[in-house]
Structures are given as structure tokens and as C-alpha cells.
Amino acid sequence: MDCPQIAGLKLDAASLEGIERMKHKHQLMKYGAIAITAGTIYALFFRNATAKALYDVEEYDWHGFSQTMGALPTMTRRALQKDAWLQAIDHQYDPKQQRFWNAVADGCNVK
């Protein structure tokens, strides 16, 4: 993807707040993955006796677990994309900021 160079771009307070919210949301999604993994490990090994834990590991829905973990990046991307689209709509009267937010929605990184 080619990300545009936007000369003279000045982000207003709403855009800067939007960037911070998106960073926070991205961090929360990372914590979500850690929580799902930690909860699974706890449920399998620390809640049960050893023999029961071994049975539970074999019987655990690993396919569902992998689907959940695999969906997290897509969920994160969609949530951030939606935030960027809303910012683009909010900045429809500032072409440079609107172009910036459309680029973010299309997958360009904010550095």
C-alpha cells in the first residue's frame, strides 16, 4: 500500500485525541490476548488436580481457542479502521486531515 505524503499536515486536538484513543484500544486488544491465554492456562492447570488437568488438556476446544486468538488481529484492525473512518467524517472540512484519516483507515501507520 502506498501511503500518501501530506505536506503541511497539522493535526488538531480532536485528531491527536483520536490517535491516543486508537493507541489505547490497540493496547487493550493486546491485553485481551494475554487475558484469554492466561485464563485458559489457569482453567486447565491451576484449577484441577494433575490427572484431571491432563484429561482437560486433551479435551479442551483448541480449535475454538485458535479461532478466538486468530480473530483478535482482525477485530483490532476493524475497530481501528472504524475509528479512522469516523475521524475522516469529522474532518470533512479539512482536506489534509481527512486524507490522513482515510489513509489510516486504509492501513497506513501513524508514527
pLDDT by residue for the chain (111 residues), tens only, comes to 688 888 999 999 999 999 999 999 999 988 888 888 888 777 777 766 655 555 666 777 777 878 888 888 888 899 999 999 999 999 999 999 999 999 999 988 876
Vertex 30 angle, CA 45 and 41, to 5°: 5
The confidence score (pLDDT) of residue 40 equals 79
Residue 67 corresponds to which amino acid? Q
Residues 11, 97: contact at Cβ < 8 Å?
A: yes
The confidence score (pLDDT) of residue 84 equals 95
Residues 28, 72: contact at Cβ < 8 Å?
A: no
How many Å apart are CA 101 and CA 90, to the nearest integer? Answer: 10
The confidence score (pLDDT) of residue 48 equals 61
What is the C-alpha end-to-end distance of the chain, expressed in Å?
A: 16
Give the torsion through C-alpha atoms of 87, 91, 95, 97, to 10 deg: -50
How many Å apart are CA 55 and CA 79, to the nearest integer? Answer: 37
